[in-house]
Structure 1
Amino acid sequence: MSVNPTPLKPSQIPQEAFDWYDAYAHGAMDRRTFMKKLGTLVAVGYSMTALTSALLPNYALAEQVSFNDPEIIASYEEFASPDGHGKGRGYLVKPTKEIAAFPAVLVIHENRGLNPYVKDVARRLAKAGYLAFAPDALFPVGGYPGNDDAGRALQRELDREKIQQDFVAAARHLKAHALSTGKLGAVGFCFGGYMVNYLAAIDSDLLDAGVPFYGTPAAESLRKNIKAPLLVQLGELDERVNASWPEYEQDLKRYKVDYQMHMYKNAHHGFHNDSTSRYDQANADLAWERTLAFFAKHLT
């Protein structure tokens, strides 16, 4: 009879394992190389099963708000994207309150499609009183395939400029939605954090507030267009993304953007994602509390 290994806590996982996973998750390392590197830790006493269980997502852990919650209604909605892939689709979640319109928030996934964690974030926002819309960049190729490896591969195959235009179209669709007050925020994670920065820069009138979680900035040539206030959320141990911050901050100051940046101590890239061991509950809760306060200030 096999025995499941005791789950590893983040503090028990060597930092290099997190770094390897980050490189693997962002296309800088293939799966074979990633597993080979993890094997070097097995040689010094770690269990491969325990390591992979800790580093790879378990989406059963990510549900904080059920799709059956009586305070929300979830559905899917399509939108036109003439400059992107022609048509997109997203997960639309609205509060059940009997009012005419709600402030709206676009929820943007990581580099692997609309996985269960990001859908749950949309439900959390709807439960907090927002009209939440989470597009799936993989809709043109059949949607999120059910696992992150396949999702990453599919997203890499798509034209990046068309993906960006799909999210621009989704933002415009949501801003003009019959259930929207016309006030639009955006929150995104990793690739989604980059997309929040991009949406703020590509159209000065599009966003009323943006919250990029560990996302790199838009192209330098676009940053002069940023008018929306930004709440930038970064993890202290996320060297790859943090390397882009000093230059970005200089431009935000130069263009007099209303911004705040919070650096979360001992937090990894992906610290808000509660489906992996990178999740840091204390920092994630604080970051989410700040996110909701930021949207309340600028959208309601």
Structure 2
Amino acid sequence: MTAVQGTAVDIPTEDGTADAYLAHPGDGRPRPAVLFYPDAYGLRPYLRSMADRLAAAGYTVLVPNVLYRHGRTPVVDLPEFIDPGVDPTLWERVGPLVRSLTPDRVERDAGAYLRRLADSPMVAAGPVAVTGYCMGARLSLLTAGTYPDRVAAAAGFHGGRLATETPDSPHLVAEHITAELYFGHADHDPSLPEEQIERLENALTAAGVRHRCEVYPGAQHGYTMADTPAYDREADERHWAALLDLLDRTF
């Protein structure tokens, strides 16, 4: 297995400084870049391990603290195993932070993250890929639509609110996307009901976006996150296969 080097980095943004985790193969050679958007629980040990696994496959991976406006990591104190059923106050603390991440903030921040990758000696020249989880899937879609000249592939897993009826819904950027997209939806996910899945599919098809959207049967919202009770090993391995296949086709 490829040795991986992971380091903490700071990224200047228009609104402050975002702390982040940067992982890359230890041989020091520049590699294709992947911007990795976390779920609502943010940058934490398990997400660093996911970034390391992706880096071991031959990529330079940046995982930003997207909630940096509210503090450095950990923005919210979390147990090693995150179970909202045990701590019902968790979403009272996390929810407002997630809602504060408006589309205009996402777009500004994405520009800063992409500039950081472009400036890194560990990143090969050319476009990047983006992947995101839960709320990060929304950020992945918005980034692909806002920076089509920089994003060659984008993925999202167990994403929520991807195609709402609001005027700032992420699916409305479809007409600007030039990347290839992949989405692995959770089954019976209340944050992404069937009508939103259909609306997203129709928007991507109408815009001529190369894409594949799949529902993972029986998988709950959060199925990739082994530090939560939603984890589903079979669905998680399916996610890894789909993501690496997308990256292989892109780079």
Contact 1:112 1:154 in 2 (8 A): no
Q: Which residue of 2 aligns with 1:146?
A: 77
Corresponding position: 1:115 with 2:47 = no
Which of 69, 82, 91 pairs up with 2:21? 91
Which range moves more in the overlay, 153-162 or 252-261? Answer: 153-162
| Gap change, CA 1:236 and 1:154, over 3 Å in 2 | closer
1:297 Cα deviation from its structure 2 partner: 1.2
Contact 2:67 2:101 in 1 (8 A): no
Alignment of 1:25-104 (within 5 A): 71-82=3-14, 85-99=15-29, 101-104=30-33
Structure 2: gaps of 5 or more residues = 83-89, 164-168
Corresponding position: 1:205 with 2:136 = no
1:203 Cα deviation from its structure 2 partner: 2.0
Q: Secondary structure at the match of 1:227?
A: coil
Alignment of 1:246-261 (within 5 A): 246-261=198-213
In structure 2, distance between residues paired with 1:168 and 1:242: 30
Alignment of 1:84-233 (within 5 A): 85-99=15-29, 101-143=30-72, 144=74, 145-147=76-78, 149=90, 152=94, 155-156=97-98, 158=100, 160=102, 161-181=104-124, 182-215=126-159, 216-217=162-163, 218-233=169-184
Q: Which residue of 1 aligns with 2:87?
A: none
Q: Which residue of 2 aligns with 1:241?
A: 192
Which range moves more in the overlay, 105-114 or 159-168? Answer: 159-168
Per-residue CA deviations over 1:247-293 (Å, capped at 9, x if unaligned) read 11111111111101121111111111111221111111012111111
Larger radius of gyration: 1
Which of 222, 225, 248 pairs up with 1:273? 225
Contact 2:106 2:142 in 1 (8 A): no
TM-score by length of 2: 0.82
1:89 Cα deviation from its structure 2 partner: 2.1
| Gap change, CA 1:93 and 1:220, over 3 Å in 2 | closer
- Structure number with higher helix proportion: 1
| Gap change, CA 1:291 and 1:140, over 3 Å in 2 | same
Q: Which residue of 2 aligns with 1:296?
A: 248
For residue 19 of structure 2, what is the amino acid of its counterpart?
A: R
In structure 2, distance between residues paired with 1:102 and 1:166: 22
For residue 53 of structure 2, what is the amino acid of its counterpart?
A: R
TM-score by length of 1: 0.70
| Gap change, CA 1:152 and 1:226, over 3 Å in 2 | same
For residue 192 of structure 1, what is the amino acid of its counterpart?
A: G
| Gap change, CA 1:177 and 1:137, over 3 Å in 2 | same
Contact 2:107 2:146 in 1 (8 A): no
1:295 Cα deviation from its structure 2 partner: 0.6
Per-residue CA deviations over 1:24-71 (Å, capped at 9, x if unaligned) read xxxxxxxxxxxxxxxxxxxxxxxxxxxxxxxxxxxxxxxxxxxxx981
1:146 Cα deviation from its structure 2 partner: 2.9
Contact 1:234 1:242 in 2 (8 A): no
1:193 Cα deviation from its structure 2 partner: 0.5
Q: Secondary structure at the match of 1:240?
A: coil
| Gap change, CA 1:192 and 1:151, over 3 Å in 2 | farther
Q: Which residue of 1 aligns with 2:86?
A: none
| Gap change, CA 1:151 and 1:121, over 3 Å in 2 | farther
Question: How many residues matched?
Answer: 228
Per-residue CA deviations over 1:60-109 (Å, capped at 9, x if unaligned) read xxxxxxxxx98111111122212xx232221011111242x101111111
Q: CA RMSD in A?
A: 2.2
Per-residue CA deviations over 1:95-151 (Å, capped at 9, x if unaligned) read 11242x101111111123212222221111111111011000233332223317386
**Percent same amino acid among aligned pairs?**
22
1:211 Cα deviation from its structure 2 partner: 0.8
Structure 1: gaps of 5 or more residues = 1-68
1:239 Cα deviation from its structure 2 partner: 3.6
